[in-house]
């Protein structure tokens, strides 16, 4: 039996939930967005690419900080939601383009900044996408990559990937910070400052955003209930299933 390809999984999972990601409190705010805004304000006249824009929060932050932004995503429904919300906010310097992160339809050295947030864990080939980001970035440009990250400890890593995949079949991997550094270096970047945070995932809304089937919800709760003490402590697993998710923002310059 042949299943659908990975891109179809991503579009199916996110297209129908576009509005939920625009309004998601977890995605709509945070120190990482504040940092992105500050970096853009320090670079007047920036042309920025929001790579895997999702609900558009990076695009909104960058545009509000003065950038002209191209919001790029695999889902046309997500891009439509971004356009609608940008209009509602009065942000008129955001355009949208549709496509995969691994094949960018832009000329070399087009952008002053490439920004991505909470998207890369869905990409089929992160090294290829980073190579494309390096290609379309100007020599003095800036890459900012922010995503959920796996702990370096294999025990904790395995638990995280299991619950992520049960929640969302389009999940590929939450990479470790060490893996991010290696991939960035291989793509021609010099990784710099890292900012970490641990947002709380409120369980009910976390599964609702992905329309997780009840059988998978039950499996996640079973994994949480049987988790080793070290796992329960690290993720701060609460009685209702809510937990803390490690995330990191990495700044990188092209070499």
Residue 215 lies in a domain: no
The mean pLDDT value for 195-211 works out to 95
CATH number of the domain where residue 34 is located: 3.40.50.150
Q: Could you tell me if residue 54 is left (phi over 0), alpha (psi between -120 and 50 degrees) or otherwise beta?
A: left
Q: What is the C-alpha separation between 21 and 118, in angstroms, rounded?
A: 11
Contact 85, 22 (CB under 8 A): yes
Total domains present in the chain? 1
Residue 92 lies in a domain: yes
Residue 205 lies in a domain: no
Percent of the chain, pLDDT > 70?
A: 89
Q: What backbone torsions phi and psi does residue 55 show, to the nearest 5 degrees? A: -75, 0
Structure tokens at 104: 């960018």
What per-residue string of b and e applies to 5-30 under the rule 16 or more CB within 10 Å gives b? ebeebbbebbbebbebbbebebbeeb
Tell me the chain's radius of gyration from C-alpha atoms: 18
pLDDT at 1: 43
The mean pLDDT value for 147-163 works out to 98
pLDDT single digits (tens) 73-105: 999 999 999 999 999 999 999 999 999 999 999
Residue with the larger pLDDT of the pair 104 and 209: 104
Residue 237 lies in a domain: no
pLDDT single digits (tens) 115-124: 999 999 999 9
- Tell me the whole-structure pTM to 2 decimals: 0.89
Q: What is the C-alpha separation between 48 and 115, in angstroms, rounded?
A: 7
Contact 237, 243 (CB under 8 A): yes
Residue 203 lies in a domain: no
**Residue numbers of the domain that contains 55:** 6-150+170-198+247-254
Could you tell me whether strands 47-51 and 68-73 are parallel, antiparallel, or unpaired per DSSP bridges? parallel
Residue 66 lies in a domain: yes
Residue 140 lies in a domain: yes
- Runs of H (alpha helix) within the chain: 6-15, 18-23, 25-28, 31-41, 57-64, 76-89, 126-136, 154-167, 177-186, 203-208, 214-225, 229-235
The mean pLDDT value for 229-251 works out to 98
Residue 229 lies in a domain: no
pLDDT single digits (tens) 211-229: 999 999 999 999 999 999 9
Quote the mean pLDDT of the chain.
92
Q: What is the C-alpha separation between 25 and 250, in angstroms, rounded?
A: 22
Residue with the larger pLDDT of the pair 8 and 148: 148
Contact 150, 246 (CB under 8 A): yes
Side-chain-side CA neighbours of 91 within 13 Å: the count stands at 25
Could you tell me whether strands 111-117 and 137-148 are parallel, antiparallel, or unpaired per DSSP bridges? parallel
Contacts of 52 (CB under 8 A, 6+ apart): 72, 73, 74, 101, 116, 117, 119, 120, 122, 123
Q: What is the DSSP string of 167-233?
A: H-TT-----BHHHHHHHHHHTTEEEEEEEEE--EE-HHHHHHTTT--HHHHHHHHHHHHT--HHHHH
Three-state DSSP class for 55?
coil
Which of 8-17, 39-48, 129-138 has the least mean pLDDT?
A: 8-17
């Amino acid at each position: 039996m042949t299943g659908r390809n990975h891109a179809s999984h991503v579009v199916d999972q996110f297209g129908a939930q576009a509005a939920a990601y625009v309004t998601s409190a977890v995605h709509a705010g945070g120190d990482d967005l504040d940092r992105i805004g500050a970096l853009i304000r320090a670079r007047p006249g920036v042309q920025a690419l929001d790579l895997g824009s999702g609900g558009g929060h990076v695009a909104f932050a960058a545009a509000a900080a003065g950038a002209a932004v191209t919001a790029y995503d695999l889902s046309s429904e997500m891009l439509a939601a971004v356009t609608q919300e940008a209009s509602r906010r009065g942000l008129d310097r955001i355009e949208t383009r549709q496509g995969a992160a691994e094949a960018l339809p832009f000329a070399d050295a087009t952008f002053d900044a490439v920004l991505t947030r909470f998207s890369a864990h869905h990409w089929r080939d992160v090294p290829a996408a980073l190579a494309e980001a390096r290609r379309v970035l100007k020599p003095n440009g800036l890459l900012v990559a922010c995503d959920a990250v796996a702990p370096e400890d294999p025990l904790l890593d395995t638990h995280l990937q299991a619950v992520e995949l049960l929640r969302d079949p389009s999940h590929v991997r939450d990479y470790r910070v060490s893996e991010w550094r290696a991939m960035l270096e291989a793509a021609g970047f010099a990784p710099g400052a890292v900012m970490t945070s641990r947002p709380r995932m409120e369980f009910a809304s976390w599964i609702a955003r992905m329309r997780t089937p009840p059988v998978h919800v039950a499996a996640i709760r079973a994994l949480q209930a049987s988790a080793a003490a070290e796992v329960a402590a690290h993720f701060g697993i609460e009685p209702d299933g809510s937990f803390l998710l490690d995330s990191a923002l990495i700044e990188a310059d092209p070499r």
